[in-house]
Amino acid sequence: MQFKSKILANQKSDQLFYETVMLFTVKVLNDAFEVGDLLKLDEEVSRLFRSNAFNMTERRLIEEERIKKYPQLADFSGKPLSDEEL
């Protein structure tokens, strides 16, 4: 039970951190956009930070599913091929 409360506390802390990073990002970008676009800016930054690009767990799970479905891709490391490999 003690560990569960610590996990929940960490989740709240992480959520607060990401919310703060999103708010900071929007505040920094405010000067680069017109006043009428600030709501769109806030929505897009929120959408971006909540996407799987910033969700390492979801990305890992998707990659594991892809490798399970296509095992021949397990050796592919994502690096460009060298001249010898071509």
Q: What is the pLDDT of residues 38-84, one digit of tens each?
A: 899 999 998 888 887 777 788 888 888 988 898 887 776 555 555 55
d(CA 76, CA 72): 8
List pLDDT tens digits, range 8-31: 677 788 888 888 998 999 999 998
The domain limits of the chain are: 2-73
d(CA 44, CA 79): 30
Neighbours of 83 (CB within 10 A): 5
Radius of gyration of the chain (CA): 20
